[in-house]
Amino acid sequence: VTLRILVAGQGAWGRALAGLARSAGCKVETWVRGQVVPPGRFAGMIVAVPAQAVRAVLAIMAGLDCDTIILAAKGIENGSQLLMPDVARLVFPLGRILVLSGPSFADDVAKGLPTAVTLAADSMKDAAAWAQILSQSNFRIYASDDVRGVALGGALKNVLAIASGISDGKGLGESARAALTARGFAELRRLGLAMGARSETLMGLSGLGDLLLTCGGGQSRNYSLGFRLGSGQSLQSALAAARGVVEGALTAHVAHELAHVHQVDMPIVAAVAGIIHKGLVPDQAIAELLDRPVGPEID
């Protein structure tokens, strides 16, 4: 049976995923905003639009004949503080909601370089079935039933990538960035656990793996935004220079709010939120981070 798949969104990631699904033998159609909702039955819809657009796009797609939604957007909805799968459930309450996330630059995937990601569904059976359908020798998909954990890792790492970029933009060195990333992972983990994610998910490809990629990489828009800020550019000009949506800049504030709601200590996320949303100067934020008392290293 050839499965008919709709890919909503045709940015770099949407195009890469459409290409992957085609190579996997699916019949792939694509959709972008402004087009009509395609008729007929689909086995699944891959949603590769910016996180803050997911609700609107799914609302448009509410009439689509499809009960499997694979979310490839990474972020937390502003205002509602909802994770992507929670947003999707509002629109498709009876649908099977899956989350695809992990360390994967669209360019690497498009070039056929080896990539490994995680696909989560409420039921391991669904996750494993779709992982099987979409996996290829160079694009390995691991199944998980921790939907929240996979969604959270992908969202929070973007905020931390801005911090890594700032550190590099300021020329603080590789040792500083490694320490910052490790401490950032501890923050991601604290909030994730408080919000019901599983520890092993946060340490896996979609948590730690994606964090490493985004915090280290010149291909990341979040890292690049931070790099420009660290180099002394104003927030306005750094945002203007970004190509496409910088998810981390949109997630920083809501992540900071969630840290408060769940009463977890997230000084790096607070610093990024302060820089993006309150006009805090990077030098001041860094000085405050370095000024925290030295004591026992606790997670």
Helix (H) or strand (E) holding 119: strand 115-120
Distance CA 246, CA 159 (A): 10
Q: Of 27, 74, 111, 157, which residue is the catalytic one?
A: 157
Contact present, 160 and 211 (Cβ < 8 Å): yes
With b for 16 or more beta-carbon neighbours within 10 A and e for fewer, the 164-192 pattern comes to bbbbbbbebeeebbeebbebbbebbbbbb
Q: Compute how many other C-beta atoms are within 10 angstroms of the C-beta atom of residue 19.
A: 17
């509410």: which residue's tokens?
Answer: 62
């490809």: which residue's tokens?
Answer: 205
Which amino acid does the sequence have at 103?
P
Q: Which stretch binds a second copy (CB under 8 A): 6-14, 110-118, 238-246, 247-255?
A: 110-118
Whole-number minimum distance, CB 201 to a second copy, in Å?
8
111 is an active site residue: no
Structure token pair of residue 112: 């056929």
Q: Does 172 participate in binding a second copy (rule CB under 8 A)? A: yes
Q: Which of 24, 43, 60, 116 binds a second copy (CB under 8 A)?
A: 116
Distance CA 88, CA 61 (A): 11
Q: Does 108 participate in binding a second copy (rule CB under 8 A)? A: yes
Q: Which of 66, 143, 270, 285 binds a second copy (CB under 8 A)?
A: 143
Q: Which stretch binds a second copy (CB under 8 A): 23-31, 81-89, 166-174, 260-268?
A: 166-174
If the CB atoms of residues 106 and 195 are measured against a second copy, the closer one turns out to be 106
Residue ranges in 51-90 that form contacts with a second copy under rule CB under 8 A:
none
Q: Which of 33, 59, 90, 200 binds a second copy (CB under 8 A)?
A: 200
Catalytic residues: 157
Q: Which residues bind a second copy (CB under 8 A)?
A: 102-105, 108-109, 111, 113-116, 118, 124, 128, 131-132, 135, 137-138, 140-144, 171-179, 181-183, 185-186, 189, 199-201, 203-205, 208-210, 212-213, 216-217, 219, 290, 294-299
